[in-house]
Copies of this chain bind each other. A is one copy, B any other.
Amino acid sequence: MSEELLLHPDRLFSADPTQRSIARRLYQTIKDLPIVSPHGHTDPKWFAQNECFSNATELLVKPDHYLLRMLFSQGITLESLGIGKNREGVESDPKKSWKIFAEHYYLFQGTPTSLWLDYVFVNVFNLTERLCAENADSHYDTITACLQQDDFKPRALFERFNIEVIATTESAIDDLTYHQQILDSGWSGKIITAFRPDNVIDPEFEGFEENLSILADMTGINLETYSGYLESLKVRRQYFKKMGATSTDHGHPTARTLDLTEQECDALYSKIRSQQYSGEEADQFRAQLLTEMAKMSVEDGLVMQIHPGVYRNHNQDLFDNFGRDKGADIPVATEYVENLRPLLNKFGNNPKFSVIVFTLDETTYARELAPLAGHYPALKVGPAWWFNDSPEGMRRYRQQITETAGFYNTVGFNDDTRAFLSIPARHDVARRMDCVFLAELVSDHRISEQQAEKIAYDLTYGLVKKAYKL
């Protein structure tokens, strides 16, 4: 039974009439500001080659781990969604996979996924019915037909979405070919990269040794010594910076940092390179490297981002058969106060250093991160991340961060997504939820509406540009 699909103009605003009217007025002042997307995972190839996206399933279902996760949790196999090359029983008809997704779209009620997708269905594809089994085929056809048109090509969508700048994320050993192609093309869209060195910093990353060989080749530097190794990372950072990067990103299991002596570093590096290290030593190495990255940030001005606290690939069988990023990453409790101290004691008061820290452990918002960000000049708190990039997640974020860190030790919104079409939807949810929070502060007279307007602008546009040096 299909239901009409409407995006209510007041969606996410409080039902209370006073708060709703304030939120509405605030939202009017920011809703059309350009999108600044300083951290995400769109594919630069899209913008370099500007080819049509193929079909609804390839674009909207298969790459979205939020979707895969939820469908899998209800017994839908990845094979039936067309995932898992060379496996038996992989569905080859994307329309059939889309149908399965549509039949289970009800699972996403009350989750941000439905907010994002409904926004895309209405605003990008002009669909007027909520997705369900009955309209699965026609929705598939409509979307897929649209995607063949010029104005649904990546660059056209980028412009239509009013994106001022978007940062992709590339590994330290990526050659940034696509970014070069974009620059060479003369297209005005601003696509920058971000330096993500996990695969050459984490000894336990798949292919670490091989990655170091590539790094040595790329930089022409001998990586036998720790100083050579650090030098090669500096060189790559320089290259990323030249290609537009303003930030680095670090996805570590924990927020641990260390400040070892030169001698200790040399000895540890030797162990790592000889592949004779314990789990603890691998962890020490990652911890020391965060401090080294901070040091390089002081020198080259790249803003550091730390994204810790995820148990990656928790489902061994799924990982063995389908690889990474299939929805089996699970957050864990994460400690910041002890862990960040070595780094902060070295660079936390340094006006040339800036580090943005994220968390999936909301217990640290009020207890650890807001107090740290509300004290150290170098530290800012990143926005509600991943599982918490949602209306209730954002509400908790503002409620738990603001009273200690204020608004000005935060950095605006990150969409952090590879789901390109959802970017405007995600920013819209963030803008609305900021207005909801501000409207409450105005309605109970904690701030004036005049103050709220200025803050709304800063949360949407001012802070992100400043924090990421854009």
Interface residues of A (CB under 8 A from B): 3, 8, 10-16, 18-19, 69-70, 72-75, 106-112, 114-115, 311, 314-318, 327-333, 335, 337-338, 341, 344-345, 348-349, 351, 360-363, 366-368, 370-377, 379, 387-388, 390-393, 399-400, 402-409, 440-441, 443-448, 450-451, 455
Contact = CB atoms under 8 A, between A and B. Distances in A.
Contacts of A18: 15
B387 A392 contact: no
Contacts of A406: 70, 107-111
Contacts of A344: 314-315
A110 B15 contact: no
A402 B110 contact: yes
B375 A407 contact: no
A87 to B, nearest CB: 14
Given A337-B314, A376-B315, A8 B75 contact: no
A195 B463 CA distance: 46
Nearest to A450: B3
A337 B327 contact: no
Contacts of A363: 333, 361-363, 367
A349 B443 CA distance: 46
A335 B333 contact: yes
A391 B376 contact: no
A318 B378 CA distance: 14
Contacts of A74: 377, 408-409
Contacts of A328: 375
Given A110-B447, A112-B403, A409-B73, A368 B331 contact: yes
A239 B111 CA distance: 41
Contacts of A370: 387
A129 to B, nearest CB: 12
Contacts of A70: 374, 406
Given A73-B375, A393-B366, A444 B14 contact: yes
A377 B72 contact: yes
A337 B14 CA distance: 35
B109 A447 contact: yes
A286 B72 CA distance: 29
Contacts of A440: 15
6 contacts: A3-B450, A110-B402, A110-B441, A315-B348, A315-B349, A317-B345
Contacts of A379: 73
Contacts of A337: 311, 314, 330-332
Contacts of A341: 314
Contact of A327 (B13, B112, B375): B375
Given A390-B403, A409-B73, A11 B446 contact: yes
A136 to B, nearest CB: 18
A358 to B, nearest CB: 14
A371 B317 CA distance: 17
B404 A400 contact: no
Contacts of A318: 349
B349 A317 contact: yes
A452 to B, nearest CB: 9
A75 B351 contact: yes
